[in-house]
Structure 1
Amino acid sequence: MRYKSRLKQVLSVCLLITIVLMLYYHNRSIEPPKVKPNHKFDLIRNRNNFKNPIFAQWTVPTKAQRFINLPLKDKCDLYFKSAKHAEFDINFWNSFKPDPHVYKRKKWIRDRTRSEKKKYKKTSDWKEEYDRQIALEFSEVAREYSDLEKKMYDELGHMKVFGKCYASEVNPSDNCEKVQQKLYPWLTNNLPLVTTADGEVKSSEFQGCVTQSLVANEGQGIVIPTQSKQVENVCRLLNSLIALENKLPIEIAYLSLSDGEKTKIVTAARNSSSFAQQISFVDLKSTLELDKFPFLKSKKGGVFLSTLSLIFSTFGEVVLLTENAIPLNNLEKLFHNPRYKASGRFFFRSRPYLDREKFTPGFHEVTSLVKHHLQPNSDEVKFFNLTSPDSSLATSRFYKHSFRNIIDTSAIVMNKSKSLSGLLITINLQFYNVLKLRLTHNSMSDLIWIGQEVSGQEVIFNNNYPVMAGIYTPDQNLPRDAKHSYEICSSSMAQLSETDDISLLYITSDQLQNSLQYTNSMKSVFEQKYVTKYTEMVDNLFDPKDPNKTEMTRVNYNEVTKLSRNPLLIEHIIKPPTLTSIVYVHNFEEPNEAWVEQSKLVSERMKHSGKKFYCAYDTVGNPMEEGVRGLTVNVDDESFEKYNRITKAWMGGSHSWHIA
């Protein structure tokens, strides 16, 4: 018996030792996240420590004044001699995929913790020290992102100085081409191939740095960035320019157009004996290092093509028109605008539609980076006389009110010598993928004005916000909450002159494009908005001698008939009130916002293609209480005929519907 008792004790001890060893090796097999020890790191606050190391040397009290007093050429040579490693790392930035949650510490740590805990079978296996280690891991990642922000800060700092030295005035230097190649590696240092409508090649000889040649451009004209899929609308735009009796020369800037597509454009430009348009073609391929950076081939249009077109247009002053624009007044007048003449640029605002989408992680943090750390700093102002103008009024909707997009690129006016540096920077900004946390695909066009701001130039927008031009919705078809408001509905929007607040400068062609491409859908939209009913007393059809008349309902197609001839008929203009948020309407008597998308009116086919239809109002809320009122304009007969002639010319006079 004693022997058996002893054996049981030995077996129990062995079993206990076995269990302890199993638990020990089980815990060792699950390794906690390994992290280097680090202090808590604040990614946003660390931006305040960013400083250009070259200026750190120049600001030494005994040297500062000497550097300030140097001639610009000497200062530029000295700066880039010190900045031997200054370059734009285009391959890195193009491939870098930012993690937006790095800008949201709690979210990043929560996701990381959840991922790690999945490796443990029991919650009790998780230790507090793992939480501390994950927090330290976040600090390490945040520090890496801060280093990348500093890299961007340094690169853009060199670009700003380059712009002052070599892209704002003719300043011959042996350094220019070498520095240009490092900061703008996508540039070949070649000018584009420019040919006339008859195929004659225009001379493009120059020596030295291509940016110096571009700064020296002279003359005024129009540039139209063009892709193959846009040729038809570009031809229609030329029809409208003929109707406008435009006298400015036109350049068609492109990366890929066939001979047949060019022939179509030439034919459209010459479709008039009195006002044939003078056009040239600007082939931009020779300006890009396409073999060295194959990913450039994917950037065929959008802000990339528009910016390249502004850079390499041969004009010193240029109006850029996209295929979506229909000019309604003399474009030469834009060059005489006092604010344009003072600044060298003039932009137009996008439709101020109140977006209800949630902000994505990093949205506000990247906004702060652009506003507070990428624009000219005190050292750049002091040593290179860069300006840091206050454009807060022009850009407050972007920075303060968090609108995703504030520019309409249908038309842009620029002076090359005053804007070239910012345009070059705009191209580079497109490769900083971290900026895409703030700028969606639809708002990348804002980089055009952001590039100007980063380069130290004042951002000038038309004082007037977009307006809605068309015909009033009949009273009986107004929404139930619009009792005192006028309503105009359209896929297009227009821009109003800030000179007289009455003349339309241009209107977008969206309504006409939709009417041509989605004829039945747009006909249905117009019938829903403009067909009205009325009652009429008529004689008894069965007994003409009956003195009692019969009430009969009639249908009025008059407005739809007018729109069948010209879907962009302009009789009235509504200048909606400018809002930054929805107006709280107490009694639901008026609309609570100025621009309202009409998604229920358009067909599924149009929605699938991203086509939209808006209604705009002159009154939002009750103006006597919480509301605001805009303005309305009745278009005079002369302007009506002019606008009608130009918009019908865009269609080529071929559009008409059958009204049932």
Structure 2
Amino acid sequence: MGLLSIPYQSKSKLWIAIFLVVWSLISMHFIWQSQANSGLILKNELSSTSSIPHEFEMLIDTNYPKFKPTSGHSGSQTYSNLFKNQDRNAAIFTILKNFDLEQRCQLYFKNVKNDKLIVDPDHDFKFDRFDYLNWDEYRDESIKRLKGDNDEFVATSSDLDTIKKNFDKAKSRIASDLQLLHDYFSHIKIYNQCYIDRNTSFIKKQHELIDGLNWKTSFKRSSFLSGKQIVTEQQMYPWLSQKSPEYNCLATGQTTKFAANKNSFLNTLKNNLNGKGIVMTIADAHIDYCIRLIHLLRYLKNTLPIQIIYTSNDLSAESKSQLHQASVSDFDGLPQQNITLVNVTPAIKPQYLHKFNEFGNKILAILFNTFEEMIFIDADAILIENPEKFFQLTKYKNSGALFFRDRNTSEYRPDHDIEMFLKLMNSQYDEIIFGKISHVMESGLVLLNRKVHFSQPLIMANMNFFEPIRERVYGDKEMFWLSLSIIGDENYQFNSHPAAAIGQLTTYQERVKTFENPPSSFKSQEICANHPAHISDEDNHTLLWFNSGFQFCNQLEKVNYEDEFSHKERYSQFDTIDKFKTFWQSSLVIESAIIPPENTNSNGGDGYEPSVSWKHMEPYCAGYTWCAYSSIGNGDQANDRGLVINYSPEEIEHFKKLGEIWMRGYNYL
């Protein structure tokens, strides 16, 4: 699940400081003396060594802490151009003191190398983990590959020289690629700040910061500071066709489009956002799950509009008809649903559409729905309460972005992965000049205020384009929050609890079967389940939602019943394969939940208690079964103890009714 080992709170403050620095640096580009024909001439009237006193440097470093995640992190190449042959403190002071957002933006993009495309989605970044090995590991693995099956092979000095040259070449390419990736994301972040978000509040704060500092500098503004935007949306986002998606209301049959501003498709999209709604993305393969979710929403008396995002080749006319019938046909007299199908194919240039396959469809769903506030739901997600209640959760109201954590299992993250993500974060210059600043998340349900966090899917799209990033993340499980951190937006929150197991507590008799000399009792309790579930951190009790549908095993097409029935490590109460099969196909029974300990493993204990918070029961449900434990080891430490929740008869009955609704058969032809 890939947890980046960076303290969350300290990281949040750090990024906020960093992007404010970038604002100041762009202004500093005006200080650049006639370099690259920028037309800006800045002259210090004081001596070259003391034009800006040391006190100003201290002021900057105090308010915008320097960010150096790795020794090789030099920030955007644009800043290197901007500050070439300049007193950087003098430049920063001039920018902070004199330049508005528009001028800073022009200064920055005047120094961007422009080969028509500022960000190229097709740039061929190579990624091979072998190239990231240190020298000893690289050499040994290279010799092993040369040796092959020849046990008598001995590497010669010539072989070693070749290996060293390849090693140096790989490291040079990695450094070059990382720099270009950093520059790409800097351009995107600053473009969005300049021409989409247009947040200028930080400039007033900067003026207050240096109020009273009146070091004399003089500069001359050139003609390029005329208000003309010198970079276009097409250069930054060449994959956008600048055409509207097609919005088809199933109730009326009417299809609408919005008229995009010729200068900014994205601003038109942002300005048209309104209201609250539910967002999904599906293909024909998900139609059964989606229909069952619609039935569930009707039972929960949902009144929010629903937008289902798809691409032309993914959803057939038959599937569209079934969705319409599921939303309006009589269903126990329950409310009809207002569903709009959103075909995003026209909005993406054909040569880039393949880049949004699989998880990429979620990016398109986040970007092209028309809601100001949205709850994104996977088709196989199960909501327990009316979706309106999610918008009332305190953490969402405070931040406009709420995510849910995945199972708390231990995963190894190489140092070079962390270094790369840090490389994508904002530099001190980003923070000064432009005011910008490993969670493991479950992406089956996401709450987002899109006007507050409009840039998020644009960053996700670019993360998904490039292999060195795509291969280092677990799909959408990290991109949702990483995309916000990359733009310096730390105003998002996670539900505090990691995913829980829900179902029925495993009996003592079932647990002791694997012990020759079983204990008289267990300190820990166990639930084995196939559905990651999410408990509210507001009361540590309420089941909010869970994944993988309501059927006990949602992988029936992959199950080998004979093999799974034969294991007998769990589910031994079923004495025939038919009973076992019936249970696998039945509705999940929810009586309890276990949120495992924060610690993922423990060396303590007496040999009877679990040493891990989650145990993968690979033989069951085609590998989807995990058992959660309420404590690990002796359970003496607070972090070795989790939480057991036992639901009331009324709650259990509610869960049962939801299961009946979801499992009900239908016939929409």
Aligned positions of 1:78-97 closer than 5 A: 78-85=107-114, 87-93=118-124, 96-97=126-127
Aligned positions of 1:284-303 closer than 5 A: 284-290=344-350, 292-293=351-352, 296-297=353-354, 299-302=356-359
Mapped to 2, the partners of 1:130 and 1:408 lie a distance apart of 47
Shift of 1:80: 2.2
Q: Match for residue 310 of structure 1?
A: 366
Residue 66 (1) aligns with residue 94 (2): yes
Aligned positions of 1:398-413 closer than 5 A: 406-413=440-447
Mapped to 2, the partners of 1:531 and 1:138 lie a distance apart of 55
Q: Match for residue 637 of structure 1?
A: 649
State whether residues 583 and 627 of structure 1, in contact with CA within 8 Å, keep that contact through their aligned partners in structure 2: no
Shift in alpha-carbon separation, 1:651–1:174, aligned structure 2, 3 A: farther
Q: Match for residue 597 of structure 1?
A: 616
CA-based RMSD of the aligned residues comes to 3.5
Aligned positions of 1:244-643 closer than 5 A: 244-255=300-311, 256-271=314-329, 272=331, 273-290=333-350, 292-293=351-352, 296-297=353-354, 299-302=356-359, 304-355=360-411, 363-370=414-421, 372-387=422-437, 395=438, 406-439=440-473, 442-458=474-490, 459-479=492-512, 480=515, 483-510=522-549, 512=551, 514=553, 517=556, 521=561, 524=565, 529=570, 532=573, 566-580=586-600, 582-600=601-619, 602=620, 607=622, 611-624=623-636, 628-643=640-655
Shift in alpha-carbon separation, 1:445–1:556, aligned structure 2, 3 A: closer
What SS does the aligned partner of 1:47 have? coil
Shift in alpha-carbon separation, 1:417–1:317, aligned structure 2, 3 A: same
Task: Read off the aligned partner of 1:384 and give its amino acid letter.
Answer: F
Shift in alpha-carbon separation, 1:527–1:234, aligned structure 2, 3 A: farther
Match of 2:131 among 87, 101, 105: 101
Aligned positions of 1:170-249 closer than 5 A: 175=229, 178-197=231-250, 198-207=252-261, 208-216=263-271, 217-249=273-305
Shift in alpha-carbon separation, 1:67–1:239, aligned structure 2, 3 A: same
Shift in alpha-carbon separation, 1:252–1:515, aligned structure 2, 3 A: closer
Shift of 1:45: 5.7
Shift of 1:185: 1.6
Gaps in structure 2 of 5+ consecutive residues? 1-68, 201-226
Shift in alpha-carbon separation, 1:154–1:650, aligned structure 2, 3 A: same
Shift of 1:311: 0.8
State whether residues 70 and 419 of structure 2, in contact with CA within 8 Å, keep that contact through their aligned partners in structure 1: no
Mapped to 1, the partners of 2:305 and 2:119 lie a distance apart of 35
Residue 48 (1) aligns with residue 106 (2): no
Aligned positions of 1:143-154 closer than 5 A: 143-154=172-183
What SS does the aligned partner of 1:408 have? strand
Q: Match for residue 59 of structure 2?
A: none
Mapped to 2, the partners of 1:57 and 1:561 lie a distance apart of 68
Aligned positions of 1:116-155 closer than 5 A: 126-127=156-157, 131=160, 134-155=163-184
Mapped to 2, the partners of 1:221 and 1:124 lie a distance apart of 66
Task: Read off the aligned partner of 1:455 and give its amino acid letter.
Answer: I
Q: Deviations over 1:236-291 (max 9, x none)?
A: 1111111211111100101131111111111112243331111101111011111x
Q: Deviations over 1:562-586 (max 9, x none)?
A: 9689531111111211224x21134
Higher RCO structure (Cα 8 Å, ≥6 apart): 2
State whether residues 242 and 260 of structure 2, in contact with CA within 8 Å, keep that contact through their aligned partners in structure 1: no
State whether residues 260 and 269 of structure 2, in contact with CA within 8 Å, keep that contact through their aligned partners in structure 1: no
State whether residues 490 and 511 of structure 1, in contact with CA within 8 Å, keep that contact through their aligned partners in structure 2: no
**Count of residues in correspondence between the two structures:** 548
The range that moved more, 205-214 or 499-508, is 205-214
Mapped to 2, the partners of 1:625 and 1:300 lie a distance apart of 45
Report % sequence identity.
22
Mapped to 2, the partners of 1:565 and 1:54 lie a distance apart of 60
Shift in alpha-carbon separation, 1:529–1:306, aligned structure 2, 3 A: same
Mapped to 2, the partners of 1:101 and 1:300 lie a distance apart of 28
Shift of 1:203: 4.1
Mapped to 2, the partners of 1:162 and 1:615 lie a distance apart of 47
State whether residues 189 and 287 of structure 1, in contact with CA within 8 Å, keep that contact through their aligned partners in structure 2: yes
Mapped to 2, the partners of 1:411 and 1:329 lie a distance apart of 13
What SS does the aligned partner of 1:74 have? helix
State whether residues 355 and 465 of structure 2, in contact with CA within 8 Å, keep that contact through their aligned partners in structure 1: no
Task: Read off the aligned partner of 1:201 and give its amino acid letter.
Answer: T
Shift of 1:415: 1.1
Q: Deviations over 1:116-164 (max 9, x none)?
A: 799x9x999944x774564355223312221111111111110110121
Q: Deviations over 1:284-314 (max 9, x none)?
A: 1011111x34xx3364322x11111011110
Mapped to 2, the partners of 1:638 and 1:174 lie a distance apart of 64
Mapped to 1, the partners of 2:156 and 2:598 lie a distance apart of 54
Shift of 1:622: 1.4
TM-score (norm 1): 0.75
The range that moved more, 322-331 or 52-61, is 52-61
Mapped to 1, the partners of 2:483 and 2:355 lie a distance apart of 21
Shift of 1:528: 7.0
Q: Deviations over 1:449-504 (max 9, x none)?
A: 21111011114211111111111122211244772322211111210112211111
Shift in alpha-carbon separation, 1:515–1:201, aligned structure 2, 3 A: closer
Q: Deviations over 1:64-91 (max 9, x none)?
A: 2332342223322332233251612222
Q: Deviations over 1:399-420 (max 9, x none)?
A: xxxxxxx111110111112222
Mapped to 1, the partners of 2:387 and 2:154 lie a distance apart of 74
What SS does the aligned partner of 1:446 have? helix
Shift in alpha-carbon separation, 1:465–1:130, aligned structure 2, 3 A: closer
Shift of 1:339: 2.6
Larger radius of gyration: 1
Mapped to 2, the partners of 1:126 and 1:84 lie a distance apart of 44
Q: Match for residue 542 of structure 1?
A: none
Mapped to 2, the partners of 1:239 and 1:615 lie a distance apart of 30
Match of 1:156 among 170, 182, 185: 185
Aligned positions of 1:25-40 closer than 5 A: none
Mapped to 1, the partners of 2:641 and 2:616 lie a distance apart of 19
State whether residues 533 and 546 of structure 2, in contact with CA within 8 Å, keep that contact through their aligned partners in structure 1: yes
Gaps in structure 1 of 5+ consecutive residues? 1-43, 388-394, 399-405, 534-554, 655-660
Mapped to 2, the partners of 1:244 and 1:419 lie a distance apart of 28
What SS does the aligned partner of 1:428 have? helix
Shift of 1:165: 1.9
